[in-house]
């Protein structure tokens, strides 16, 4: 279903636009997906399932080799997906950018991290755009799906793409359509999550909307790329601000000896005007910890400040420090120093029941514990070895969770509340549990271990 709230002015199509529209409607358009990670690979699935030929490009040759062999590297997507793609003659994984010249539609699904000073790092977007510019031809549609600040598609990408002499909206087409993936969330897939689409011009927006309507159940067209870029930021800043508020409430209520989790449950009985958000050890994932800073940077560029959003960012960023402080206090109360203490961290993924560790607060927490002289081990049923991260370099492997292993540690620190963990066993054998997720709530009455909520 397509919902179009964009301007409905009459558009005059160029011959290139007409040919591309016909290819989209006949499902003969070739779709190139740049970046085969948490966003790109599910998008390949949606494109492939709806009859289009897909070219998947990634700079990581290992991913390409795994896809060719039908081996999965994103467990939450299941093994069947990559097996289906490997057996299909309509999917070509590659690390050769020249193959993208065959694509009529190119979707950019690349990271947009932060720099050292929390400034936007558009290097992946700009490098990908330059790569596309090298093979850009008449009749191609280029769509950015990566989260970014308003104006990126028009002000940063468009000049690179037009430098070769082709004209946007006439010879080729450019749009923005933000990804809305939530790895591990049940009941939703790429095809079932409504899609926002905004073009840098009316023709580009219309062509992008027509394409996504063929592979996504519901598409909502907006008047410009800037509106779509802003909407994506609003979605995630909304969550970041509310999580910051409840994190601040947690700290305040703890000092008043009030359980924030019970308070949230009580407030949730109101049938209107309240939506529950839950505190934690810090924000994780690629979007929520990063997106607010993209808007604050853009605001400064136009001479504005975003005090509310920046304050939320400060609160959320301090949560790993708060958690470690609560752990140290709990040790001190038991006449135990952090230095030399054996800490077992439960869960390093940024959210339960997946293997995604992007921006996980567990990395910062473990580094702070190491810095304080603690001896740290971790258990995560979904992450067997601590992967390389841009800002963190931790060399640890997941330990097997047994009563003996639990008893051998001074503290069990619950950072991620995976369902596969035996919390009853933790409660029975741990010396001390510091719980950042309220994971022990159901098991506390039977637990022998003292439980500190942090």
Give the catalytic positions in this structure. Answer: 287
DSSP for 378-390 reads EE-TT-SB----S
Decide the pairing of beta strands 433-435 and 375-379. Answer: unpaired
The sign of the dihedral angle between the CA atoms of 433, 434, 436, 441 is positive
Return d(Cα 226, Cα 151) in angstroms, integer. 6
Q: Kindly provide the residue ranges of all beta strands, DSSP E only, lying in 354-439, ordered along the sequence.
A: 375-379, 411-414, 433-435
Return d(Cα 96, Cα 32) in angstroms, integer. 12
Q: Backbone dihedral region of 425: left (phi > 0), alpha (psi from -120 to 50 degrees) or beta?
A: alpha
Looking at the chain, how many residues does it have?
A: 454
Structural contact between residues 435 and 304, judged by C-beta atoms closer than 8 angstroms: no
Q: Measured in whole angstroms, how far is the alpha carbon of residue 150 from the centre of its chain?
A: 19
Return d(Cα 168, Cα 201) in angstroms, integer. 8
Written as six digits, the tokens of 418 are 């995976």
């Amino acid at each position: 279903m397509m919902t179009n709230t964009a301007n409905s002015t009459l558009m005059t199509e160029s011959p290139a636009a007409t040919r591309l529209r016909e290819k989209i409607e006949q499902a003969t358009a070739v779709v190139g997906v740049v970046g085969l990670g948490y966003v790109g690979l599910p998008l390949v699935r949606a494109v492939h399932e709806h009859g289009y030929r897909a070219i998947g490009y990634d700079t990581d040759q290992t991913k390409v080799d795994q896809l060719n062999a039908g081996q999965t590297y994103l467990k939450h997507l299941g093994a069947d997906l990559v097996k289906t793609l490997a057996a299909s003659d309509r999917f070509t994984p590659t690390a050769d950018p020249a193959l993208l010249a065959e694509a009529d539609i190119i979707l950019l699904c690349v990271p947009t991290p932060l720099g050292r000073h929390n400034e936007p790092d558009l290097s992946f977007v700009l490098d990908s755009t330059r790569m596309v510019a090298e093979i850009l031809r008449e009749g191609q549609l280029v769509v950015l799906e990566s989260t970014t600040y308003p104006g990126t598609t028009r002000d940063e990408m468009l000049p690179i793409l037009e430098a070769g002499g082709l004209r946007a909206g006439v010879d080729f087409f450019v749009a923005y359509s933000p990804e809305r993936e939530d790895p591990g969330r049940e009941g939703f897939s790429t095809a079932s999550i409504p899609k926002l689409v905004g073009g840098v011009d009316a023709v580009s927006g219309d062509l992008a909307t027509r394409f996504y309507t063929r592979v996504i159940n519901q598409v909502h067209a907006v008047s410009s790329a800037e509106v779509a870029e802003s909407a994506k930021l609003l979605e995630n800043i909304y969550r970041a601000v509310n999580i910051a508020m409840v994190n601040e409430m947690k700290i305040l209520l703890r000092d008043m000896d009030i359980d924030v989790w019970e308070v949230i449950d009580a407030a949730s009985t109101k049938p209107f005007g309240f939506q529950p958000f839950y505190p934690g050890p810090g924000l994780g994932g690629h979007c929520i910890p990063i997106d607010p800073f993209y808007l604050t940077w853009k605001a400064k560029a136009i001479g504005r400040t975003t005090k509310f959003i920046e304050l939320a960012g400060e609160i959320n960023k301090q949560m790993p420090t708060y958690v470690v402080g609560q752990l140290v206090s709990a040790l001190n109360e038991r006449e135990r120093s952090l230095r030399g203490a054996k800490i077992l961290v439960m869960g390093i993924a940024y959210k339960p029941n997946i293997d995604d560790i992007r921006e996980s607060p567990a990395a910062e927490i473990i580094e702070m514990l190491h810095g304080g002289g603690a001896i740290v081990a971790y258990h995560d049923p979904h992450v067997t070895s601590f992967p390389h991260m841009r800002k963190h370099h931790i060399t640890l492997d997941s330990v097997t969770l047994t009563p003996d292993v639990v008893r051998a540690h001074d503290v069990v620190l619950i950072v991620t509340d995976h369902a596969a963990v035996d919390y009853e066993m933790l409660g029975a054998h741990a010396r001390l549990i510091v719980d950042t997720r309220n994971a022990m709530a159901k098991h506390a009455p039977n637990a022998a271990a003292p439980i500190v909520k942090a």
